[in-house]
Amino acid sequence: MTLAGSLAAIILVALTAYALLGGADFGGGVWHLLASGPRKHEQRRLIAHAIAPVWEANHVWLILAIVLLFTCFSPAFARVAVTLHVPLTLMLLGIVLRGSGFVFQSYGGKGERTFALASLLTPLLLGVSVGAIASGSVRDVTGEEFVHGYIRPWFTPFALAVGFFALACFAFLAAVYLTLEARNRELQEDFRRRAIFAGVAVFAIAAIGLLLSPQAPLVQRGLLATSRAAALHVVPAIAALTAFWALWRRRYRIARIAAAAQVALILWGWGLSQYPYLVPPDLTIANTAAPRATLELALVALLAGAIVLFPSLFYLFKVFKAGSDSVR
């Protein structure tokens, strides 16, 4: 793989980490909103307890992805920022309201509803943006009028379907992780049921997305026509079935791994199916890559950063997440 290709892959890794960790924090907000039944308050307390120490660190993955994108592929960043101005701004509002709503409620203020509602907005618009990029409609719109240039590219059935798909995936991840965080069996069962329900939703929306995929020719070709197709379908499907099986049999640790693998593989499937394009129809890895000096330094910085980062992250999760699977 070329240097630029490796950096593009690292950006996808950062996005994957954001989806698996930060995404689940947003999914927690969804279950906060949908908390119900006799253990409503316990559910909410569990969610807050699980998110509080880690959400800010989880959130930095998104920042890392953005910073790498504008360092290494600045024309792609500029294109996305111009054409997707509206959904990205709304997504930012979601990020601001989710984060501040969450701390306000944790520290004695109000903000629960804001936190929960904003947790819907951000995954939805993140998905819409990804869907718009995948469908190749993020063109150069300089000089076009507002609706045609700045709304049409993303306000499409396909992009919206990807938005709901992202929301369902994040909710699914959160529910699966929460089965391991739960302190008692009833609570665990609550989230097991929710996980199965969300998993079904993920499947249903994926089917709709597939029906709409003629709107995203690159993805469609990747999913249906090329030799990669088999791998791109079969592997996530195996992961998904494993997750269902494990949830059914209450093998929560296996469910966690399978659910995370499923979401990661879907993201990688997207990446592979539009390779070598970063922002189809015209921006590729090669034609947007920064000069070699920048790419080399970025890689060095990433390696140096990783040496600091991974032990620290490991410690964080060891302190707060080990031993949380106390119910066997």
Partner 1 sequence: MIIGHSSALNFGDHVNDLIAARSQMAVSLAFHIIFAVIGIAMPVLMVIAERRWQRTGEPVYLDLAKRWARGTAVLFAVGAVSGTVLSFELGLLWPRFMQLAGPIIGMPFSLEGFAFFTEAIFLGIYLYGWERVPPRAHLAAGALVAVSGSASGIFVVIANAWMNTPIGFTLANGMFTSVDPIAAMGTPAAFPQALHMILAAFAATGIGVAGIHAFLLVRGRTNPLHRAALTIGLIVGAPAAVLQPFAGDIAARFVARRQPVKLAAMEALYETRAGAPLTFGPGIRIPRGLSLLAFHDPNAIVRGLDRVPRDEWPNVPLVHLSFDVMVAFGTYLALVSLWAGWQVLRKRDLHTQRRLLWALAVAAPCGFIAIEAGWMVTELGRQPWVIYGILKTADAVTPMPGLVVPFTVITLVYCALALIVTRVLYTQIVQ
Q: How many residues of this chain interact with ligand HEM, rule: CB under 6 A?
A: 4
C-beta atoms surrounding 286 within 10 Å: 11
**Residue closer to ligand HEM (CB basis): 96 or 225:** 96
C-alpha 314 chain-centroid distance: 21
C-alpha 265 chain-centroid distance: 12
Pairing relation of β-strands 277-279 and 283-284? antiparallel
Residues with Cβ within 8 Å of 158's Cβ and at least 6 positions away in sequence, in order, are 131, 134, 135, 209, 212, 213, 215, 216
Scanning 52-60, 157-165, 235-243, 263-271 for contacts with ligand HEM by CB under 6 A, the matching segment is 52-60
**Residue closer to ligand HEM (CB basis): 57 or 117:** 57
Partner from partner 1, ligand HEM, none binding residue 320, C-beta < 5-8 Å depending on class: partner 1
d(Cα 176, Cα 155) in Å, to the nearest integer?
31
**Residue closer to ligand HEM (CB basis): 95 or 247:** 95
Rule CB under 8 A: which of 87-146 touch partner 1?
Answer: 88-89, 92-93, 95-100, 102-104, 106-109, 111, 141-146
Q: Dihedral through CA 108, CA 113, CA 114, CA 120, nearest 10?
A: 140
Which of 18, 26, 31, 77 binds partner 1 (CB under 8 A)? It is 77
Q: Does 60 bind ligand HEM (CB under 6 A)?
A: yes
CB of 306 to partner 1, least distance (A): 9
d(Cα 206, Cα 34) in Å, to the nearest integer?
22
CB of 59 to partner 1, least distance (A): 7
127: helix, strand or coil: helix
Identify whether the C-beta of residue 4 lies closer than 8 Å to the C-beta of residue 286.
yes
d(Cα 160, Cα 94) in Å, to the nearest integer?
17
Q: Does 92 bind ligand HEM (CB under 6 A)?
A: no
Q: Does 33 bind partner 1 (CB under 8 A)?
A: no
d(Cα 200, Cα 182) in Å, to the nearest integer?
22
Scanning 13-21, 54-62, 81-89, 220-228 for contacts with ligand HEM by CB under 6 A, the matching segment is 54-62
Nearest residue to 181 via CA among 167, 169, 195: 195
Strand partners, 279: 283
Q: How many residues of this chain interact with partner 1, rule: CB under 8 A?
A: 68
Q: Does 59 bind ligand HEM (CB under 6 A)?
A: yes
Which of 56, 140, 189, 325 binds ligand HEM (CB under 6 A)? It is 56
Identify whether the C-beta of residue 168 lies closer than 8 Å to the C-beta of residue 123.
no
Q: What residues line the site for partner 1 (CB under 8 A)?
A: 52-54, 56-57, 59-60, 62-64, 66-68, 70-72, 74-75, 77-82, 85, 88-89, 92-93, 95-100, 102-104, 106-109, 111, 141-146, 150, 290-291, 293-294, 297-298, 301-302, 304-305, 308-309, 312-313, 315-316, 319-320
Residues of the shown chain interacting with ligand HEM in the complex, contacts defined by CB under 6 A: 56, 59-60, 63
